[in-house]
Amino acid sequence: NAGVTQTPKFRVLKTGQSMTLLCAQDMNHEYMYWYRQDPGMGLRLIHYSVGEGTTAKGEVPDGYNVSRLKKQNFLLGLESAAPSQTSVYFCASSLQMGRSEAFFGQGTRLTVV
């Protein structure tokens, strides 16, 4: 039972580099989310998706782009990484929005130097 899988688990980027974080879920969930977690700030929503082919901005979307070409995958892209994007990134999925459990991936620890 894989649940929600994130790749990679760790990454170090240089300022200005780009990368894509992949989130895959095998629970046939419609809703998927990308959060970042920083010390003292809690979990903040970056982008989310309510279904295949849809995306929406969350609380802190600047500097990130997302795509949901397949229902099971939700990609988070950083076009030009900045040190302020050093964080732990969590992907999550849920069957319903707001009324069912959200399942999280194990997180991606990203450092931008």
Partner 1 sequence: RKEVEQDPGPFNVPEGATVAFNCTYSNSASQSFFWYRQDCRKEPKLLMSVYSSGNEDGRFTAQLNRASQYISLLIRDSKLSDSATYLCVVPLPRSGNTPLVFGKGTRLSVIA
By the criterion CB under 8 A, which residues form the site for partner 1? Answer: 31, 33, 35, 40-45, 48, 56-59, 90, 92, 97-99, 101-102, 104-107
Based on CB atoms, which residue is closest to partner 1, 49 or 85? 49
User: Shortest Cβ distance from residue 75 to partner 1 (Å)?
Assistant: 19
User: Shortest Cβ distance from residue 50 to partner 1 (Å)?
Assistant: 9
Based on CB atoms, which residue is closest to partner 1, 9 or 70? 9
Based on CB atoms, which residue is closest to partner 1, 85 or 89? 89
CB atoms within 10 A of CB 72: 16
Closest alpha carbon to 33 in 102, 108, 107: 102
Closest alpha carbon to 103 in 31, 44, 38: 31
User: Shortest Cβ distance from residue 9 to partner 1 (Å)?
Assistant: 11
In sequence order, the 6+-apart residues with CB closer than 8 A to the CB of 67 are 55, 74, 75, 77
Distance from the first to the final alpha carbon of the chain: 35
